[in-house]
Amino acid sequence: MRNTVPSPRAVNEARLRQLWRQVFDDPEEFLDLFFGLPGCLNRCCTASRDGKIVSALYWFDCDFRDRKLAYLYGAATDPVYRGQGIFRGLMERYHAVLREQGYAGSLLVPAEGLAGMYEKMGYRYVCYRKVWTAQAGESSAALTEISAGEFGSLREKYLPENAVSQTGTNLTFLRGQANLFRGEDFLLAAETKPFRGIELLGNSEAAPGILRALGEKEGIFSTVGNETPFAMYHALQPGPEPAYFGLAFD
């Protein structure tokens, strides 16, 4: 029987999955969802040392005023190789790749304590939001669970001016982790076990009724606003900057 030699792509994905497990606490179902996304490894930059990948990052494609933006996601460095400037070099390569491919800029939502590091790499906060805690109301809001495609179509109508648009693969990934709902005058993406309102667009006063409908006593919601810094931006081309970025895949 002939031995089958794994393809470089398969070897890389296996190492990337291993690196992800070293840094993030996500179940295998999540890894299957993420690495199963179309073009996932084409939207990836890596750095290697000692014959193996030790740092990696990924991005999702977004749009803003007909300009292509990248949403940086899943940046990870093997703990053994931290503090050697590897990730900074990887970020420089990432920005160079984006410029070559015509991206206007890069967005990211920094993990706690990392905003200062990204500031040194040219990022600054430009997108804000409103976050609040609501209590369940006395009556339920009418909720209809919808597909990623319908959510995307409706979301474009609810988004404010100067908002980043996310469609296609982004919403497929979102739907794999969250429930998507529409109401009479609102749109909601939320994790429900336990509840976390990822984004509520439209009538924010529907929050208490949403909680009652989902059988929750209390919940955190996020919507359009100027109160809480959320996404940082690094311009790669001259032009306008986004002011709202609502869907981060925490």
Quote the pLDDT of residue 8. Answer: 47
**pTM of the predicted model as reported, rounded to 2 decimal places:** 0.93
* Measured distance CA(87)–CA(102) in Å, rounded: 23
Residue 11 banded pLDDT, cuts 50, 70, 90: low
State yes or no: pLDDT of 6 exceeds 70: no
State yes or no: pLDDT of 29 exceeds 80: yes
Quote the pLDDT of residue 3. Answer: 41
Cβ burial, residue 105 (10 Å; 0-12/13-18/19+):
buried
Cβ burial, residue 138 (10 Å; 0-12/13-18/19+):
exposed
- What is the per-residue DSSP string for 64-129? ETTEEEEEEEEEEE-GGGTTSSHHHHHHHHHHHHHHHTT--EEEE-PPTT-HHHHHTTT-EEEEEE
- What values do phi and psi take at 219, rounded to 5? -160, 155
- What values do phi and psi take at 121, rounded to 5? -100, 10
State which amino acid sits at residue 101: Q
pLDDT digits (tens, 9 = 90+) for 216-234: 999 999 999 999 999 999 9
State yes or no: pLDDT of 9 exceeds 70: no
pLDDT digits (tens, 9 = 90+) for 140-177: 999 999 999 999 999 999 999 999 999 999 999 999 99
Quote the pLDDT of residue 2. Answer: 40
- Residues with Cβ within 8 Å of residue 95, at least 6 apart in sequence: 106, 122, 234, 236
**pLDDT mean across residues, the chain:** 94
Quote the pLDDT of residue 149. Answer: 96
Q: Which of 151, 136, 105 is nearest to 207 (CA)?
A: 136
Determine the average pLDDT of the residues in 76-94.
97
